[in-house]
A and B are shown apart, each in its own frame.
Chain A
Amino acid sequence: MSLSAALTSRAAAAVDVRRAGRSATVSALMPLAAVVVLAALPFLVYAGVTDTLVNLFVLIALASMWNLLAGFGGLVSVGQQAYIGIGAYSVIAFAGQGVQPYLAILLAALTSVIFAVPTSWLAFRLRGDYFAVGTWVIAEVYRLVVVRVDSLGGASGKGLTGLAGIDQTLRGALTYWVALGLAFASIATCYLLLRGRLGLSLMAVRDEETAAGSAGIDVRRAKYLVYLVAAAGCGAAGGVITVSSLSVNPDAVFSVQWSAYMIFIVVIGGIGFIEGPLLGAVVFFALQQFLADYGSWYLVLLGAIGMAAALWLPGGLWGVMRDRTGLSLFPVGYHVRL
């Protein structure tokens, strides 16, 4: 390559590139410290608190996966409940075969990936709005198929077997730790994926798909990978929902409401930031707790907040925070020292 040979004006040492972000040590330590404190909670607080927090961790995981899909991959899906449902039912099915339910959560993630492969062939033929609606329709199809399988309990769902022998307190703590692990793994996966070369490709595809192809990016492969990862994450979350509720109901696990939650959380937290779903899930969770007694006003208020965030906070709460402080817990960009 004559051109590379000619392009030698810059010595290797002269290129000083850092991963963008103000304080790398703080970034690494803060999430780890948070995980350690949270992991100790079952020894410190009442079971009611940790049981409630399981829901928060599930929401963090789900929203992180949706953010990965939509905020980084440009794949606006309204059908991730398909994988929540497949994951939830996988745990029921594997536990029925004698697999330890907590271990079955890993298999649930795998099952979701297996279903995501043929689903993607169908869904990826659609783009933009059609992709969004198409994924929702596919999720409904999965629900309709599942309620016709009698061995899975049909339309009324099925209870989880295999956890009966475990002491209730221990079971609560185990479920809590598994849910915490899920949330941590979801964020860590997003971070590691986006920091790498695939992450940069994904963001390029999101910004300009045609130009991404000309940049040498295998656009289809990048989308495909991120779709499978999101399916695995949502499948595992579905599994955690099952071990937490000890039963599965098709209308609940395949509900489009999950997508509404994910979108709301990511929009108010900040789409396209790894921190966004984390912050958004905490805010959403707090709203849920405070407004639980207000009936339908709760939904009206959530809707109003979501719309306000979409209109006036395009970067969400984290976008505002980052602009004010320059803080980045999970830096994925590059910064050149000039």
Chain B
Amino acid sequence: MAPLLHLENITKSFGRVTVAKDMTLSVAPGEALGIVGPNGAGKSSLFAMISGDLRPDRGTIRFDGRDITGAAPHARTRAGIGRTYQVPRPFEHLTVFENVLVCGHQGARLKGRAAWQRTMEVLDRTGLAPLANTPAGRLGLLQRKRLEVARAMGTGPRLVLLDEVAGGLTEPEVLELVTVVRQLHTEGLGIVWIEHVVHALVKTVGRMVCLAGGDVVADGDPVEVLADPKVRELYLGAGPEAGAGTAAEVLQ
């Protein structure tokens, strides 16, 4: 099957710091891909380049066969790429309903009642419906993270980029969120998920990529990637023995 998202020979650096080094990566339609890697590996920059907040120095990005390397962020959203931000960026003065509604209007190009309906569906799914009339500025962290997911869903995506949506949440909250994401995936939505909470990823994704120094160091089955000695050394920050133990714990 032709890839839904295809990045080819992407290079990006800020002065002497390289966040992407000739990176090539594909995501198939409906695939759930997890991305791990140490801080500074270029994970968030990768998302910024896919969503259009950052332009690569070299290389091409294709979505659904179309070259979107130079496209504006809103054009990519309308093409079907939804995203969340690691540090939530709610529209603070708008209500939760309005936050998602504007995504339905502008991202999914819905009008009137169809947009309202879709917004409420998304709020139901993400557990935010009771807070529909609450200004987003008054939400707590879990709700802000949920709102990030809800807004991404509101744009009517075929692929969502989740940037550490589980970070900073308590264990039961992580489980709730994993349930939401898994359900979306089973309905055919493509997912690329950056996450430090590795057990949340392993429960959800079918494939995992480890980034380091702006390049892919491992790519494949999540269990195998986590067991890879290179990954253990890089990401888990420990020797092979300790790493094996951590990976095994993670997989339980």
Residues of A within 8 A of B (CB): 1-4, 6-10, 12, 14-15, 17, 197, 200-201, 203-204, 206-208, 210-220, 272, 333-336, 338
Interface assignment of B56: CB less than 8 Å from any CB of chain A: no
Assess whether B92 is in contact with A213, with CB atoms less than 8 Å apart: no
Of residues B51, B52, B101, B106, which shows the largest number of chain A Cβ atoms within 10 Å of its Cβ? B106
Q: Within 8 Å CB of B198, what residues of A?
A: none
Q: How far is the CB of A312 from chain B (nearest CB, A)?
A: 19
Q: Within 8 Å CB of A212, what residues of B?
A: 91, 102
Binds A, one of B34-42, B117-125, B202-210, B235-243: B117-125
Interface assignment of B174: CB less than 8 Å from any CB of chain A: no
Q: How far is the CB of B184 from chain A (nearest CB, A)?
A: 7
Residues of B within 8 A of A (CB): 51-53, 72-74, 77-78, 82-83, 85, 89-95, 97-99, 101-103, 105-109, 111, 113, 116-118, 120-122, 124-125, 129-130, 132-133, 151-152, 154-156, 184, 187-189
In the complex, which of the residues A15, A217, A338 contacts B117, with contact meaning CB atoms closer than 8 Å?
A15
**How many angstroms between the C-alpha atoms of A224 and B103 in the bound complex?**
20
Q: How far is the CB of B159 from chain A (nearest CB, A)?
A: 11
Q: Within 8 Å CB of B91, what residues of A?
A: 203-204, 207-208, 211-212
Please judge, given known A-B contacts A3-B184, A7-B121, A7-B122, whether A216 and B106 are in contact too, CB under 8 Å.
yes
**How many angstroms between the C-alpha atoms of A52 and B189 in the bound complex?**
63
**How many angstroms between the C-alpha atoms of A10 and B115 in the bound complex?**
13
**How many angstroms between the C-alpha atoms of A84 and B9 in the bound complex?**
52
Assess whether A215 is in contact with B72, with CB atoms less than 8 Å apart: no
Of residues B51, B53, B89, B118, which shows the largest number of chain A Cβ atoms within 10 Å of its Cβ? B89
Assess whether A6 is in contact with B107, with CB atoms less than 8 Å apart: no
Name 24 interchain pairs, CB-CB below 8 A, sorted by A: A3-B189, A9-B124, A10-B117, A12-B117, A14-B120, A200-B105, A201-B102, A203-B91, A204-B99, A204-B102, A206-B93, A211-B89, A214-B53, A214-B83, A215-B107, A216-B105, A216-B107, A216-B155, A218-B72, A219-B73, A333-B98, A336-B97, A338-B130, A338-B132
Assess whether B120 is in contact with A336, with CB atoms less than 8 Å apart: yes
Q: Within 8 Å CB of B111, what residues of A?
A: 197
Assess whether A219 is in contact with B74, with CB atoms less than 8 Å apart: yes
**How many angstroms between the C-alpha atoms of A217 and B99 in the bound complex?**
12
**How many angstroms between the C-alpha atoms of A307 and B78 in the bound complex?**
43
Q: How far is the CB of B180 from chain A (nearest CB, A)?
A: 13
Assess whether B98 is in contact with A218, with CB atoms less than 8 Å apart: no
Assess whether B101 is in contact with A15, with CB atoms less than 8 Å apart: no
In the complex, which of the residues B51, B130, B133, B156 contacts A335, with contact meaning CB atoms closer than 8 Å?
B133
Q: Within 8 Å CB of A8, what residues of B?
A: 121
